[in-house]
Amino acid sequence: MTQNDPTQIRPETAAGLDELVATFTGRSVPYYQRAFRYMLQAPGYRFMLNRAAGLLGPVWFGARGLWSWFLVFLLLDTFAFIQIGLGLFGDLGRDARIRAEQIAQTLDLRMQQIEAAKASGAASLESLQRAAGSLQDALASANEAAAAATADGMFYLAVGLALLLVIRFGAASLANWTLEAQFVRWRSDRRVASGWSGTRLLVSLGLAAAVIILSVMKFARPDAFSLLNSFPTNRDWRLNVGDAVQNGFDWTKTAGRGFFDGLTLGMRSLLDWIEVVLVGTPWPVVALVFVMLAYLSGGARVAIFTGAALAYLGLLDFWEKAMTTIALLGAAALISITVGIPLGIFCARRPTAFAIVRPVLDFMQSMPSFVYLIPVVAFIGSGKPAGVVATMIFGSPPVIRFTVLGLQQVPSAVREAALAFGASPRYLLWKVDLPLARKTIMAGVNQTILLSLAMVVVASLIGAKGLGEDVLEALQYAAAGQGILAGLAILFCALILDRIVAGRK
């Protein structure tokens, strides 16, 4: 044995490894000691068959705590057992038989019509007879198909058994490799599952039995257990819960009328002020200001692009609606940023607060945008203020999350150095934390603006004016050309704001 031979394990290392393997595996220790020594001789996968895993399948992986692999092989086993169940006792001709019964009912109706036509001497007798002949042929074909499907049971059984053998062979060949990978993780983190647990064995066995049996019964005998075909429920439950939610909305709207009226007034005032600046100001002044902002933020290329985009908006008669859209977006983004950055700072310094705020942010980002309109209209009504609130709710989470992320990523060594030199909490925040987190926070601001602009079309459904109204009208009247032009106008508004906020890359 050479000292530098990587394929050999020194005696003291082998003894230590065997002791660790014995502690980790819990049972069949000699087998796994030999297996792990063989697998550790070279990196990567090495082929070995684990007969226990091949016999037990997903249950073996569950007993060993390999739950992700348990789920994979449970799904594969379920598919194989479904084929076996179809072959052994499956109602393979069910669909063809149902079709035959439907054809037979139609044929009976046609025969009654033929008898009535014969009695009355109707001219449609010949066409009815031809239709009846076609139905008789279709009925014979359906019956033949049902008989042929029933005779395919052995084929499904053979396919299911072959699949099960292949799947179990795959489980046997992957078992030691997956267990060895878990052993490596366990050596650095003893919280990783180890050993052969009787509790895990029972849990995995129960889950596997439930999934396989229910799935086989559902596909093999769909009419035997109606409970498996539809979830047991009562329509009155949804109606009662919906009425309760409606009553809650009504009570909140009545009790908080003053708050919601004040919120609407504030939103409308802010929106009117921004619209006066963007719409009431002469268009050359507004265009010049946008171009200069683009130049100062992103340079000459961004300024040229901004000028071209503004020319598109003006020449195609989108100027006023574009400014209205930017006013709506500006009001929503201004409120989102003004509230979001301080809230993000607060959450970054207090993990408990962020643990409370995070589920709310998840809810705000996961809820479909159209659903926001329901409570907004219920509490505020339709119009531009409602559009601002809906846009603000949809666009606020990114700036909060990115602010928290940016402050959490500030190197602790830099903060400790500033504190060592006597920095006050205020100085630490304004001169250390925020400058270092600036890029991340600005990325959150950028995402908030773009997400707010994405609500333009949706907000037009509740009376928010602007370019979204043109897109909505194009959808209603199938005016593809006008819709594309309005969509490009929204795109240019987004790109202008994106370039100005993002600045130089």
For 13-54, write each residue's pLDDT tens digit: 677 888 888 999 888 899 998 998 888 777 788 888 999 999
33 Cα distance to chain centroid: 43
Three-class DSSP category at 192: coil
Would you list the domain boundaries of the chain? 11-91+154-228, 94-151, 253-502
Out of 98-112, 340-354, 355-369, 448-462, least confident range: 448-462
How confident is the model at residue 13, as a pLDDT?
A: 65
Q: Which CATH superfamily is domain 253-502 in?
A: MetI-like (1.10.3720.10)
Per-residue 3-state assignment (H helix, E strand, C coil) for 401-460? HHHHHHHHCCCHHHHHHHHHCCCCHHHHHHHHHHHHCHHHHHHHHHHHHHHHHHCHHHHH
Give the predicted TM-score (pTM) of the model.
0.69
How confident is the model at residue 482, as a pLDDT?
A: 86
Residue pair 63/196 in contact (Cβ under 8 Å)? The answer is: yes
Backbone CA torsion sign across 216, 219, 220, 221: positive
How confident is the model at residue 67, as a pLDDT?
A: 95
Q: Which residue has the higher pLDDT, 232 or 323?
A: 323
Q: Which two tokens stand for residue 167?
A: 């799947």
How confident is the model at residue 331, as a pLDDT?
A: 83
Mean pLDDT of 341-356: 92
Does an H or E element contain 216, and which? helix 198-220
Output the DSSP codes for 290-347. HHHHHHHHH-HHHHHHHHHHHHHHHHTT-HHHHHHHHHHHHHHHHHHHHHHHHHHHHH
Three-class DSSP category at 231: coil
Residue 139: C-alpha distances to residues 98, 113, 181 (Å): 11, 18, 59
For 124-156, write each residue's pLDDT tens digit: 778 878 888 888 888 888 888 778 777 778 888
Backbone CA torsion sign across 41, 43, 46, 50: positive
